[in-house]
Structure 1
Amino acid sequence: MEHIYSTFEAIFQFQTLISMLLGVCVGIVVGSLPGLTPPIGMALFIPVTMGMDPVSGLLLLSSIYMGAEYGGSISAILLNTPGTAAAACTSFDGYPLARQGEGNKALYASITASTLGGIIGVIILLFFTPLLAQLSLKFGPAEMFWISIMGLALVSSLSGKNIIKGLLGAAFGILVSTVGMDPISGYPRFSFNSPNLLSGIGVVPALIGLFSISQMLVLMSKKRGEVIINEQKPTPYLQVLKFVLKRPFLVLRSSAIGTVVGILPGAGGSIASFLSYTLAKQSSKNPEKFGRGALEGVIASESANNAMVGGSLVPLLSLGIPGSASAAVLFGGLTLHGLIPGPRLFTEHADIAYGFMIGMLVTTILMCLVGLLTAKYSPFILKLPYNYIIATVLVLSTIGSYSVKNNLFDVWVMIVFGLLGYVALKYGFPIPPIVLGVILGPIAEEGYRRAIELGSVHGSTWGYFFGQPITVVLIIINVLIFLGGLYQEFRKVKAEKA
């Protein structure tokens, strides 16, 4: 604890505070623009950190990371265009709220939940890093397979009125995820001799198409003069703050899920958001409001999304294992300053390690202040004429899709998935299950294939899949989530008949 107290003076230096504030602002802008992911924004600023002291440089990168994770919710709420993949869940209820004229309320809930989730995630990082790092080492391919299946089990809760259409959508998403090189053998699949398909179908262009382009096509199909988005009503922030604080269990549960999922290498914020969102829906007294403008859905998604940031740094700082692309960029920032992540970081450079983690708490507060300003004024975007909004979103979506790999093929992927999303909406197929399949398909396949190989080495594939303590717990959770979704649908059908 002595290192914690000795670092406060370094954190509150002018240069360090400016670094954090700059990082938050840059991160929010990066996150709100489709295609500009947190690792891209962080990588652009790595050269800037070379002339800075280690704590300031690392906090600049981490503040971009945290700001970008929140920034993705702004475009998700206002334009139904998630700036990051993890913000996809936020759009489920955030955009309906914006269409009802309550975009301001949704944005306030988003920044409040993001702040609370971020604080909880960093506190867990600060005090429980060694313990959680050992837990993350116990998650092998079989465990990651069941984690991804846990996400896919949410289909029953995200399918709306028709589970069959939801399952078909998820199956289509999984099929899309198999395009490209086999993750184990490296053999090309469904590439049709196209070099562009060897690396698979990009998740970011596909998501931009499914959410953004499809929604713009829906807006373009409306009759002239038809009300699409209601007049935005300003909401006092204290009213939203009270609403969030009256639901401490929702915030704590979602933040815990985000932190734990963040610890697991390769899991990412998407799984955390979907898990938290679905559990919030299943435990709600009014589950029918989810997907139509439930503020609890925004809170659950954003709490998990930002708590994941702290969790993702646990294996990096304590074991030297970057579990995500953003953590890998931060790994580069550490080595640039001569710091080697791992157990020795806390013994040889404890002042820097603890200064970095405490500084992330300050970053979260700064993110809240900047986020409140953006939440107050960004809904004015919706006052623009709809043809301006449509044109702007199409341009930003095209730039975002192209910027991922600087490849025009990704723009075509965006267009194709936009058309598919429009057709799906027109014929009652829900978009979330398709997104789940696209995101979780590769994780499930790689975990399954590697688990089979390891199981054969251990002499029992079945035992490796079903006989380990953690896999048994995950299987039970999977069954409970799936049955909970079915029970919820049964109650809904019974209520409609009554």
Structure 2
Amino acid sequence: MLAEVISTVFSPMALLINLLGVVLGIIFGAMPGLNGVVGVALLLPLTYGLSPSLGLIMLSGLYMGATYGGSISAILLNCPGTGEAACTALNGSPLARQGRAKEALSYSVLASGFGGVFGVVIMMLFTPFLSQAALKFGPPELFLVCLGGLAVVGSLMGKSFSKGFISVAIGLLLSIVGMDAVSANYRFTFDNVNLQAGFDLIPVSVGLFAIAEMLNLICNQGDNSVISEKNRPFPVLEGIRGVAKRWKLVIKSSIIGTIIGILPGTGGAIASFISYGEAKRTSKEASQFGKGAIDGIVAPESANNAAVGGSFVPLLALGIPGSATSAIIFGALTVHGMIPGPKLFSEHADVVYSLMLGLLISTILMVVIGLLATPAFSKVLSVDIKLIIPAVLAFSIFGAYSARNSLFDVLVAVVFGLIGLVFKRFQIPVAPAVLGMILGSMAEKNLRRSLTIAAAKNSNIVSYILFRPISLVILVLLVLLIYGNFKTALRSKNEE
């Protein structure tokens, strides 16, 4: 079987399809509003005429490429193409404005490559064991994981604690708009049918980041280019040495990303925020976070690509998608007559291992393409603003519409673009709002499930959530994370 898998993955057709998937993924990820979910959904029909192995290789390559691609627009334009790249923009954009775009892009792709390889290798070696471990995370544990994600707000709030908390509160408020998943009642919809399904993350984040940034450029057109400093050269070997020097941070972030990716319903965005907060807590350049810290790029990029491999673990072993993109890949498997779960390895082992090995090749292709294209990407910074602004706005509107094929989402993106501009004027950080929106609904659902189960067991809700083996471990880590982040934030504030 091994020889068959190798011959399939390394065949000219498979390599070409893999390359196509990675390139399309990078493009989808780099365009504000478009992401791996949209890309995989659009390409899914194209796989019907391919063999199962080739179809899955293309879709998984697109998934990996899109996860990295979001960092390109995050660094160059301060417009994260995906939710996973929101943290990358915090330090990537300042570096680009200092003329160090090539450096930021190189660190991004190298860290993404290492994280991607780490996640895939863990997936290949430990899928059965890790899938069983993931089942031990019930609603109480997932609720505490969400609190851990919210705890990193201390590393994202910038110079003002109060403004950071205002931002995360707005994000939490946005997360509860729409139909209550438990009681089916509508909340904060104001009798508007378009709000019954709640706010989608894509149009909101596109508005807060991409459209707000373009409006800000329109209001400050003193220059004809995005930056005034000349883009400095940056050798690839220097980037490799820089990532190798940060090997502890890369491995730690990759482990966080893989673990978060394995937990169903989480994903790369949460992994990025948690790894970013942990990096700031322990980094020697913590005071530079938000101003152009390399650690602030390496940590989230390692984590979000490691989460790709992690998200396949519950999908393949249990039939439970670990992310929205892997949920669509679940559909691709069923279209080809394969039901994800324990029998998948015994009945279609050749397809499963072709997918795994193909994803490893996808990661290598992603790094090669990213490094070769870095000089071309960085030239975006020398383009006239008058050309950049309409192009980004057009992609933003298209990306917002494609989320649910709704013109209302376009309106949402525009409104939040104006809100994002107000945030910039009053120096309110945007990232905590995105974090609050991502984690708010997930935290609420798991808390309410915990309440229901505790009531059915006649158990006290506090003891039910806290006095569980995994919960106690998460709780200790949560306390240490909150303490470390606020200590770092206070130290940075005192240094300014």
> Partner amino acid for 1:276?
S
Secondary structure at 1:430 match in 2: coil
Distance 1:478 1:422 in 2: 33
Name the counterpart of 1:483: 483
> Partner amino acid for 2:330?
F
> Partner amino acid for 2:261?
G
Indicate yes or no: 2:168 matched with 1:163. no
Deviation string, structure 1 residues 421-458 (Cα, Å, up to 9, x no partner): 21122112111111111111111111111111111112
Is the CA contact 1:76–1:91 (under 8 Å) kept in the aligned structure 2?
yes
> Partner amino acid for 1:148?
C
Distance 1:223 1:27 in 2: 32
**How far off is 1:46 after superposition?**
2.1
The 1:19/1:194 distance shift into structure 2, 3 A limit, reads: same
The partner residue of 1:20 within 18, 21, 25 is: 18
Indicate yes or no: 2:50 matched with 1:52. yes
Name the counterpart of 1:116: 114
Name the counterpart of 2:80: 82
Name the counterpart of 2:63: 65
Name the counterpart of 2:151: 153
Is the CA contact 1:96–1:292 (under 8 Å) kept in the aligned structure 2?
yes
> Partner amino acid for 1:278?
G
Secondary structure at 1:153 match in 2: helix
Secondary structure at 2:342 match in 1: coil
Deviation string, structure 1 residues 476-495 (Cα, Å, up to 9, x no partner): 11111111112113333444
Q: Which moved more, 1:120-129 or 1:195-204?
A: 195-204
The unaligned stretches of length 5 or more in structure 2 are none
Name the counterpart of 2:286: 287
The 1:336/1:370 distance shift into structure 2, 3 A limit, reads: same
Is the CA contact 1:78–1:103 (under 8 Å) kept in the aligned structure 2?
yes
Is the CA contact 1:121–1:259 (under 8 Å) kept in the aligned structure 2?
yes
Is the CA contact 1:78–1:379 (under 8 Å) kept in the aligned structure 2?
yes
Is the CA contact 2:224–2:385 (under 8 Å) kept in the aligned structure 1?
no
**How far off is 1:217 after superposition?**
2.2
Distance 2:277 2:256 in 1: 12
Distance 1:353 1:41 in 2: 21
| CA-based RMSD | 1.5
Aligned counterparts, 1:330-409, within 5 A: 330-409=329-408
Distance 1:226 1:67 in 2: 31
Name the counterpart of 2:428: 429
Distance 1:4 1:475 in 2: 43
Indicate yes or no: 2:307 matched with 1:308. yes
**How far off is 1:35 after superposition?**
2.1
Name the counterpart of 2:468: 468
Is the CA contact 2:211–2:417 (under 8 Å) kept in the aligned structure 1?
yes
**How far off is 1:223 after superposition?**
5.3
Is the CA contact 1:4–1:355 (under 8 Å) kept in the aligned structure 2?
no
Deviation string, structure 1 residues 282-340 (Cα, Å, up to 9, x no partner): 11112111111111111111111101000000001111111222111111221222222
Indicate yes or no: 2:326 matched with 1:298. no
The unaligned stretches of length 5 or more in structure 1 are none
> Partner amino acid for 1:267?
T
Name the counterpart of 2:101: 103
Deviation string, structure 1 residues 195-214 (Cα, Å, up to 9, x no partner): 11101112111111111122
Secondary structure at 1:416 match in 2: helix
Name the counterpart of 1:250: 249
Secondary structure at 1:344 match in 2: helix
The 1:133/1:490 distance shift into structure 2, 3 A limit, reads: same
Secondary structure at 1:294 match in 2: coil
Name the counterpart of 1:259: 258
Q: Percent identity?
A: 48
Distance 2:8 2:432 in 1: 47
Deviation string, structure 1 residues 11-58 (Cα, Å, up to 9, x no partner): 111111111011111111111112222122112222222222221111
> Partner amino acid for 1:243?
G
> Partner amino acid for 1:169?
S
Name the counterpart of 1:177: 175
> Partner amino acid for 1:55?
S
The partner residue of 1:224 within 219, 222, 227 is: 222
Is the CA contact 2:333–2:339 (under 8 Å) kept in the aligned structure 1?
yes
The 1:268/1:239 distance shift into structure 2, 3 A limit, reads: same
Is the CA contact 1:4–1:358 (under 8 Å) kept in the aligned structure 2?
no
The partner residue of 1:206 within 183, 198, 204 is: 204
The partner residue of 1:144 within 117, 123, 142 is: 142
> Partner amino acid for 2:61?
S
> Partner amino acid for 2:215?
L
The partner residue of 2:133 within 132, 135, 143 is: 135
TM-score (norm 2): 0.96
Distance 1:493 1:343 in 2: 52
Deviation string, structure 1 residues 198-243 (Cα, Å, up to 9, x no partner): 0111211111111112222222222534985122222111111111
The 1:194/1:321 distance shift into structure 2, 3 A limit, reads: same
Is the CA contact 1:265–1:323 (under 8 Å) kept in the aligned structure 2?
yes
Distance 2:364 2:324 in 1: 24
Deviation string, structure 1 residues 85-131 (Cα, Å, up to 9, x no partner): 11111111111111111111111111111111110000000001011
Is the CA contact 2:225–2:382 (under 8 Å) kept in the aligned structure 1?
no
TM-score (norm 1): 0.96
Is the CA contact 1:276–1:304 (under 8 Å) kept in the aligned structure 2?
yes
Secondary structure at 1:83 match in 2: coil
Distance 2:49 2:121 in 1: 29
Q: Which moved more, 1:40-49 or 1:297-306?
A: 40-49
Q: Alignment length, in residue pairs?
A: 494
